[in-house]
Structure 1
Amino acid sequence: MKLRFIACFVFATSALHAAEFRAGAATSNITPELGSSINGGFQDGKAAFIHDELNARCLALDDGKTKLVLVVADSCVIGRGIFDEAKKMVNEATGLPMENMLMSATHSHSCGTAQAVGQSEPSPLYQRFIARRIADGVRRALNNLTPAKIGWGTADVPQHVFNRRWRMKPEGIPATPLGVTTDKVRTNPGINNPNLLEPAGPTDPQVSFISVQSAEGKPIALYANYSLHYVGGVGPGHISADYFGAFAVKIGQLLGAGPEFVGIMSNGTSGDINNIDFRGGQAKEAPYGRIQIVANDVAQAVAAAVKNVKHSDSVPLAVAQKEITLGLRLPTKDEVEKAREVMKQSKLFPRMETMEQVYARETVLLSDFPKEVSAPLQVLKIGDLRVTAIPAETFVEIGLELKKRHTPTFSVSLANAYHGYLPTPEHHRLGGYETWRARSSCLEVDASTKIIAGLEELFEKLK
């Protein structure tokens, strides 16, 4: 396996001496109650078994002048309201500015519903519970601040990432649930489908990570980032943090860390990436088998890379954030009326049975959406590393472009808000599931172009 490393450098905060660098970490349990909603599919699920606990994993950094917090919560998607409520509670209790906190969801499809997606509806009580528990975790991480050292690096793990959008033979692309017949790609086309031609895009095999140790070299936390949607393969009705949670456990074991160590895996730019080899090169695994394989391989690569990273006890921190306005692709009145008629065909109304009915319901729900939304963009500066936060399921091409322009950097998706899929304009022209209009895919065609431009402004501000 080929490994690549990025070592961090020492920065003095004054001509005489460096300010003391500190770090702290904590976890906060956000597991929902049995019987609650599980989202991540077109039909709602119900929690029947807790396979592994869900957590908000929190890392706090302090260079003596600026404090930053990074949080990753085990959830499919989390809306801005929950994140903002959590940030507000932290701000009121500690004075930490809300813009100094980067909060994201993992995108595990086996977690409690926190945001209305598909036919899953969140419990307001669970939404408030998540906000409170995230805030508690951040405050505990801040309380745990202690003299520390920090470094960052990368490792390549290419064998588990596959582009899920495929160019097909003409007969291999059916009409969409909205009746569109012009798609040029098919998402999740099926293993060994005879109509497969080639993937419609690249992958990003790079695992980026931030390693934090005590002044004596004892592991405190490790924050990783991998562009893999999720793995899945859990039991029916199971609550699980997927490979994100399994990695958090495994990396601590490999680093020889104590029970206070916090392992964290964030979702990179994986809007068009998953763990399925559509050429049929994977053996079938028992439930959780594939999750463990992915988590182990990624953790082993990262643990090996950590050994070659120089940790510094003096690293400057900064943050820049801005709001941008994005338009939405909304249905016409005629499309809404036709959709209402399709919905009436469901024998289980108000629950929809077919994909056509599900997308008809999405059309009707979108008719009440505003024409524009405000999307938060954020860039954290940690020494010469930049961490970007994007509030969407970001396509891998976007993350690769940002890495090409700025080294070292990595992007966290599903961060600080949720605005659905973020394809590039080119992928909008190709069509495919991620572009089909729904609450999970309604941003304007040029949204990614505007987001990259907004992030570039923040990069410039942090120079």
Structure 2
Amino acid sequence: MQTRRRLFFLALLLSLSLSGWAATGFRAAVVKVDITPEGHQMLLGYGARKSTGVNDRIYHRIVVLDDGKTQFVLVSSDICVMSPAEYDRVAARLKKQLGIDPVNFWWNLTHTHSAPELGPPGLPALFMANRYEHQFDSDYAEVTEKKLLDGIAEARKKLVPARLGVGWGLSQANINRRAKDIDGKAYLGMDPDGAVDRRIGVLRLDREDGSPIALIANYAIHGTVLSGENLQISGDAPGVVADYVEQKLGAPMLFINGAAGNIAPIYSGYPNPKAGRMNQFRVLLGDKILAANKSISATTNDIRLKTASLLIETPRKPNLGWIDELRDYTRTTKAGVNMVKLPVRFLQINDDIAIWSAPLELFCEVSNEIRDQSPYPYTFYFGYGNGWLGYLLTEEEIKHGGYEVTVSPFTPEAAKNLTHAVTNQLQGKK
């Protein structure tokens, strides 16, 4: 009788395990999906122009993390910027089809300036209307969205027991791009003495046998090695670096841009990859990411994921209009002040990793200060997340003017408002 009971109990456990009901522990998966268009496309980043060919292919790279309670989706796409409304549409479809709550779905863009437009322009049409006199390609948008949704569904099916490691690296592949003349005015150029963030944040996902599933590399750099003269579709430096690391690692790498609002690649604004020495970024940044990966000496499968969201309201520039499709991202107070509603996302991994993300082209001084005040030893800012609501500069940099000020909806107090709110969230303050 006891033998029969034991056999029954073992069979029941096996059945529950196979059905997915039993606890699974930490699991992860990655999927890489080609989103290079078949035909010519209007490119985003610089003036309106149409592609004539492909220099290197562009991708969605999708990671799914699952700790048994929370399932988190991180996407890195070789796209310049997109409207938050585009993210909202895809997030709504994802929730309907797969039941994934938007707070657990982060869609970050590498910010290459040589990729096709994706969906309607959003806020850029407010600042640069002449760039968007044409209609966006709805067919390309639908194909790219479907590939993303299908890729996430595929990754969920491929989840395997996993381990996670974290580390820091350093690369001098970037430079402050806010050059200032004797009159104090800022111009797009190079400022070797300006604020910069050269840290590389690295997260590695391994299988239980130690083989790599994926690498996530976080670094601040504009995707502007190639200038507006270039008409070839390209992932720019982030794409070249990701491809190089993948060849060396034998697994996909998600390039997640950081606070690159005032940070350029050290070679920037060239008409073609050869002139811009784009392949040199394999050494300048790719090898530094590989070195940071090697420095990760410990991984763990004891992982707890915790997500959160925060809506920060900060005043909008006086007399600045708005885009109707983004009406959910603004409101007017009883006193008649127009506000920008800025959504910020948070991911905490165990007690030592905190990641925050916002739909911003953020100046690095802000993320640097938040990182310095964070109680987490590994604090990363994932930029260009879930849309684009313009540049957010520090109060000091706004005084110097320049291009970034003209494409920002924010007042000088925005940086302090953001820093205060995010720091309080990370420090557990109300």
CA distance in 1, matches of 2:162, 2:150: 22
| Equivalent position of 2:392 in the other structure | 422
User: Percent identity, aligned pairs only?
Assistant: 26
**Aligned: 1:244 with 2:238:** yes
Count of matched residue positions in the alignment of Structure 1 and Structure 2: 383
| Equivalent position of 1:87 in the other structure | 91
CA distance in 1, matches of 2:303, 2:198: 27
For the 8 Å contact 1:376–1:417, the answer to whether it is kept is no
- Give CA-to-partner distance per residue, 1:374-423, whole Å, 9 cap, x none: 22101111222111102110101011112211231110111112111110
User: Offset at 1:151?
Assistant: 0.5
Name stretches of at least 5 consecutive residues in structure 2 with no aligned partner: 1-22, 331-337
| Equivalent position of 1:215 in the other structure | 208
Q: What secondary structure sits across from 1:188 in the alignment?
A: strand
CA distance in 2, matches of 1:283, 1:434: 20
- Give CA-to-partner distance per residue, 1:1-44, whole Å, 9 cap, x none: xxxxxxxxxxxxxxxxx962110011223223433211211x20
User: Offset at 1:89?
Assistant: 2.2
User: Offset at 1:444?
Assistant: 2.4
Change in Cα spacing, 1:102 to 1:30, as seen in structure 2 (3 Å) is: same
My pick for the range that moved more, 269-278 or 236-245, is: 269-278
Q: What secondary structure sits across from 1:415 in the alignment?
A: coil
Change in Cα spacing, 1:461 to 1:94, as seen in structure 2 (3 Å) is: farther
Name stretches of at least 5 consecutive residues in structure 1 with no aligned partner: 1-17, 171-183, 192-197, 333-362
CA distance in 1, matches of 2:291, 2:346: 28
User: Offset at 1:107?
Assistant: 0.9
| Equivalent position of 1:292 in the other structure | 279
For the 8 Å contact 1:232–1:288, the answer to whether it is kept is no
Q: TM-score, normalised by structure 1?
A: 0.76
1:96-135, aligned counterparts within 5 Å? 96-114=100-118, 115-116=120-121, 117=124, 118=128, 119-120=131-132, 121=134, 122-135=136-149
CA distance in 1, matches of 2:25, 2:278: 39
| Equivalent position of 2:247 in the other structure | 253
User: Offset at 1:448?
Assistant: 2.0
Structure 2 counterpart of 1:393, from 361, 385, 410: 361
Structure 1 counterpart of 2:63, from 54, 59, 64: 59
| Equivalent position of 1:304 in the other structure | 291
User: Offset at 1:325?
Assistant: 2.4
- Give CA-to-partner distance per residue, 1:86-108, whole Å, 9 cap, x none: 22222222222210111111110
Q: Which runs of 4+ in 1 moved over 6 A?
A: 282-285, 363-366
Q: Which amino acid aligns with 1:388?
A: W
| Equivalent position of 1:185 in the other structure | 185
Q: Which amino acid aligns with 1:29?
A: D
User: Offset at 1:314?
Assistant: 1.1
CA distance in 2, matches of 1:283, 1:39: 16
CA distance in 1, matches of 2:78, 2:267: 25
Q: What secondary structure sits across from 1:435 in the alignment?
A: helix
For the 8 Å contact 1:156–1:207, the answer to whether it is kept is yes
| Equivalent position of 1:319 in the other structure | 307
CA distance in 2, matches of 1:79, 1:87: 13
User: Offset at 1:145?
Assistant: 0.8
Q: What secondary structure sits across from 1:458 in the alignment?
A: helix
Measured on the aligned residues, the alpha-carbon RMSD in Å equals: 2.8
- Give CA-to-partner distance per residue, 1:412-447, whole Å, 9 cap, x none: 1111121111101111122221112xxx32222222
| Equivalent position of 1:445 in the other structure | 412
Q: TM-score, normalised by structure 2?
A: 0.82
